[in-house]
Amino acid sequence: MCSNYIPAPRSIFLTAFRWEEPTFDYPQESYVSYRAPIRVIAPDSQAAELREAMFGLVPFWSKDTKIARHTYNARSETVAVKPSYRDPWKSRRYALVPMAGFYEPDYATGKPIRWRIERQDQEVFTVAAIWDYWRQPDGTGLTSFSMLTINADRHPVMGRFHAPGDEKRSLVIVPPEHRECWLNATTKEAGEFLRAMPADEFTARPDPRPPRS
């Protein structure tokens, strides 16, 4: 399950995605509860826009944000029925997460080693997600998101990650030509986007965290 990724640099949004540049700062690596940009369809205007959003979905009915520690990835097989996800899915709150790569643990040595998964051409890409809006105790709003995942037991790239015996999972890549379609999809159409990432376009390599100083 992806809990750490590299958001796309703000300086390339216009050239790489043909989107406006984010107006807010965000870290070079994003972890659960961090803020990063996502692209959504605004409910009021029905226009696509970038939003600053927290990684880890906070349902509108949640009492606090602690639930985000368990809702950063949504299984595509149950997203339509799980209490945390069913309202965003039914309401068609689909999102795109722009990134340069993401991390998963490899256990080939017996210990978890962080590996980086990225495009072979080093280009940025977008991942399918759902989002929700939560009203904080002080009255301000919080947009948050969860990345969608699918089974990857037999995937040439993603099938090697996670602990032995655990199900292998993969993020859902939305190619450039399908990005607007995904954001505007009906619930029936959305399921057609939940496919394995193209193995011939992605690669993985060890990228351990730097030792703490």
Instruction: Examine residue 59 and state whether it is found in any structural domain, yes or no.
Output: yes
Domain of 104 in residue numbering reads as: 4-206
Q: How high is the pLDDT of residue 213? A: 57
Whether the model clears a pTM of 0.85, i.e. scores above it, the answer is yes
Determine the Cα–Cα distance for residues 149 and 152; give it in Å rounded to an integer: 9
pLDDT digits (tens, 9 = 90+) for 44-69: 889 999 999 999 999 999 999 999 99
Q: How high is the pLDDT of residue 66? A: 95
Task: Kindly state the average pLDDT of the residues 174-187.
Answer: 96
Instruction: Examine residue 212 and state whether it is found in any structural domain, yes or no.
Output: no
Total Cβ atoms within 10 A of residue 99 = 24
- Tell me the average pLDDT of the chain: 95
CATH code for the domain in which residue 139 is found: 3.90.1680.10
Q: Which residue has the higher pLDDT, 163 or 23?
A: 23
The total number of structural domains that make up the chain: 1
Instruction: Examine residue 157 and state whether it is found in any structural domain, yes or no.
Output: yes
Instruction: Examine residue 189 and state whether it is found in any structural domain, yes or no.
Output: yes
